Amino acid sequence: MNLIKIPEELSGLAKLSKQELVEELGIEVFRAVLLNIFLGKNVRNFTEALTRNRLLQSNIALWKFFCEQKKLGVSPLDLIPVAKEKLLNGRLSPKDRAVYEWLVAMTNKQTQNVLRKSHDKEFDDLTQATLEMLDKELLEGHSYISHGAIFGEEGVAFTFKEMCWISLVLGSQTLTIRGSEKSLHGKYFEKLILGSIFQILGLKLLEVEDISQNGFWLSSQNEDRREADGTIVNDNVGIRVDIGFIGPGNSEITLDKVSRFTKFDEISGKQYEMSTIVIVDTLGEKSKARELAKKIEGEIICMSDPNWVLELAEQVSEKLSINNPFKDVLAENLEDYLSEKLKTLDLDRLINY
């Protein structure tokens, strides 16, 4: 049984890189999504569809794997010790490791937080307690529970206990993929949004902390400063920009982003007078984040506003005392203007920045 091999179609969906996603969808899809974001439309309509598609494919691949194993006489419960042995002693790729974690109804984060360092004994205790819960439910005599096979097709049949365990495995799979998708989309869209709009504003994309010329870089962090998603420098003035798809229920995160940076900063040995701009998805109607941000000379811009790009352009041009290329663009012409500008940008460079 130790020779069980995880199907490539299943492990391939466990972890997905941004490059794999770009190759699958094509760069023009991202150009179209960026235009929608710049016009105030909800990026989650796009990312949620991608997430559900990956989840469905992964669910089907996992179910197929369980059925094929059951045809060979291997129950989902029989896979628990096999997966445990692989996790403890096997040399696994990140993709395969994720699947073996699912088979024991865990995720990587749960393995770290729940089991801590004692993966052997604590895992056995947790698994045994879970199986005892399932046995207890069987003894309750629920009218909808069959004590025989409850699913049968082409010689495959699962008991209620096995189906309950499969549901836990599917739950772990869902947590992993949704967490992976959130991280993946956040990372590349943050760079795509900031990198694109800054270049449309006429700013030059630089290497991190390159102050030999005016321009911007993305995702900077060192030992002395908190990370910024984007940093703009112009002579002796700079702007730290943070972006996040933060909704109205997370105003405290928005405020933390506004207040994390200092008024003056040293970058590559040069002093800069800094200001802060935080870009979020939406703010609640009663949120005081904007007023509190003003007190510490920070600005909050909401991507749900159809004209948020115009507001950003105004803020950046005023803070840096530079030309605003949007100043003569009418709201009704904004979509055409942005569409033409996006065609000139190298999105591959931003994705791989």
Is the pLDDT at 83 greater than 90, yes or no?
A: no
DSSP letter assigned to residue 33 = H
Is the pLDDT at 101 greater than 80, yes or no?
A: yes
**pLDDT tier, 58 (very low <50, low <70, confident <90, very high otherwise):** very high
Rounded Cα distance between 293 and 256, Å, is 10
- The mean pLDDT of 111-131, rounded to a whole number, is 67
Instruction: Give residue 334's pLDDT.
Output: 94
Query: Six-digit token pair at 231?
Result: 């940093």
- DSSP H helical segments within the chain, as ranges? 8-14, 18-25, 27-38, 44-71, 79-89, 94-103, 108-113, 121-139, 160-200, 251-259, 289-295, 308-320, 334-343, 347-351
Query: Six-digit token pair at 283?
Result: 């703010």
Share of the chain above pLDDT 90, in %: 39
**What's the pTM value of the predicted model, to 2 decimals?**
0.77
Is the pLDDT at 94 greater than 80, yes or no?
A: yes
Which residues have C-beta within 8 Å of that of residue 184, sequence separation ≥ 6? 16, 17, 18, 21
Instruction: Give residue 152's pLDDT.
Output: 57
Instruction: Give residue 244's pLDDT.
Output: 81
Set out the domains of the chain in order of their start, with CATH numbers: 8-184 (no CATH), 205-324 (3.40.1350)
- DSSP H helical segments within 201-267, as ranges? 251-259
* Higher per-residue confidence, 46 vs 325: 325
Kindly calculate the radius of gyration of the chain based on its CA atoms and give it in whole angstroms. 25
Instruction: Give residue 116's pLDDT.
Output: 47
Is the pLDDT at 250 greater than 60, yes or no?
A: no
Instruction: Give residue 180's pLDDT.
Output: 86
**pLDDT tier, 225 (very low <50, low <70, confident <90, very high otherwise):** low
Q: What is the pLDDT of residues 139-162, one digit of tens each?
A: 666 656 555 555 656 778 888 889
Q: What is the pLDDT of residues 298-332, one digit of tens each?
A: 788 999 899 999 999 999 999 999 999 999 998 88
Strand (E) or helix (H) holding 225:
strand 225-234
Lowest-confidence segment of 100-109, 252-261, 264-273 by average pLDDT? 252-261
